[in-house]
Amino acid sequence: MDVQGILVAGGTLGAVGAVAASVLAAASRAFRVDEDPRIGQVTEALPGANCGGCGYPGCSGYAAAVVAGKAAPDLCAPGGAGAVRRIGAILGIAIEEKVRMVAVVRCGGGHQACPTRFHYAGVRNCKAVTLLTEGGSKGCPDACEGLGDCVEACLFDAIHMGPDGLPIVDRERCTACGQCVKACPKGVMVLEPCTARVTVACHTRLAAREVRKVCSAGCISCRQCVKVCPYEALAMKGNLPVFDHSRCVSCGLCIDACKPGTMAARVTPDPAVREQALARQAERKAEEAARKAAASPAPAGDAS
């Protein structure tokens, strides 16, 4: 048996291995990069969904940015208030809690309300149809295509396609990561505070006259909702009413006032809030009448 050969082979391999090991050991000392230990802690405090909703590559990227002070600590939507609190504890800073947001569908033009202009037989996704056909297959250029790009984009299984070709958001599951907002080529998905129970389910750019032609659920700029709101939470901006969410109490009066049914309740309004709103409306009407009668400026009553 060639013992010497075995020894030489083993020795050579061992020697090369030992050299490599010592070089690596030396390198790990020499090239050590001191990483802030808080980065690891913050990464652990985050949910680890790597959804990218914060705009950073993955949770660890966001953690590094937060520790470096380059990012606000409340950008993690899936982590919610819990993650913000934990990050605050790690970094030793007080953080205001943010109102939870949810994704909202700003279109009511399903297959019934807003029919398609033609039969589309191409690639079955919203991006493709919008790109290929300039404005998509629906009568309204801003209408939901209903091919489910948002459903596919949702990382939390919170969006499902409804029977009428409009996506339905599961508000419990939605974490407001914003993936659907990015995925939708029509800008139908937006994030709104979850306290807002009523939404303007239309975001068309068309004028009222055009809207009437193409969609039975679209906003016709009739201003009824603005007039009926006792809290002045609605104002017209262009063709569409826009909510001031800090004023809206979700009484639902605008839903009843809206003829095309553009105003949509995301959650059924509370009857007590409604009673209160009706009372306030009556009060305001009386005030208005009194003001007209006296023709002198009466001081507006405080909100109750």
Partner 1 sequence: MDAVAYLQLVFWAMFVNNFVLAQFLGICPFLGVSRKVDSALGMAAAVIFVMVLASVITFLLYGAVLVPLSLQYLQTILFILVIAALVQFVEMAIRKFSPSLFQALGIYLPLITTNCAVLGASLLAIKKEFDFMEALVFSLGSALGFGMVLVLFAAIRERLALLRDTPRAFRGMPIALLTAGILSLAFLGFSGIVKV
Residues that bind partner 1 (CB under 8 A): 8-9, 12-13, 16-17, 20-21, 23-24, 27-28, 30-33, 123-125, 127-128
- Which backbone phi and psi does 82 adopt, to 5 degrees? -60, -50
Query: Is the Cβ of residue 34 or residue 96 nearer to partner 1 in the bound state?
Result: 34
Nearer to partner 1, 123 or 278 (CB): 123
Rounded to a whole number of angstroms, the minimum distance from the CB of residue 182 to partner 1 is: 15
Give min distance, CB of 172 to partner 1, in A.
Answer: 28
Strands 198-200 and 263-265: antiparallel
Tokens describing residue 137: 């297959």
Q: Which helix (H) or strand (E) segment is 234 a member of?
A: strand 234-237
CB of 155 to partner 1, least distance (A): 16
Cβ nearer to partner 1, comparing 30 with 294: 30
Query: In terms of CB distance, is 69 or 271 closer to partner 1?
Result: 69
| Shorter beta-carbon distance to partner 1: residue 40 or 80 | 40
- Helix/strand/coil for 151: helix
CB of 246 to partner 1, least distance (A): 41
For the chain, the helix, strand and coil percentages under 3-state DSSP, each to the nearest 5: 40, 10, 50
- Indicate the SS3 state at residue 246: coil
Closest CA to 262 of 140, 84, 86: 140
Distance CA 67, CA 65 (A): 6
Q: Mutual orientation of helices 80-91 and 37-45 as an angle, nearest 10°?
A: 160
Report residue 271 as tokens. 């009857």
d(CA 126, CA 186): 8
Q: From the CB of 69, what's the least distance to partner 1, in Å?
A: 17
What is the nearest approach in angstroms of partner 1 to the Cβ of residue 24?
6
Pick the closer one to partner 1 by CB: 43 or 221: 43
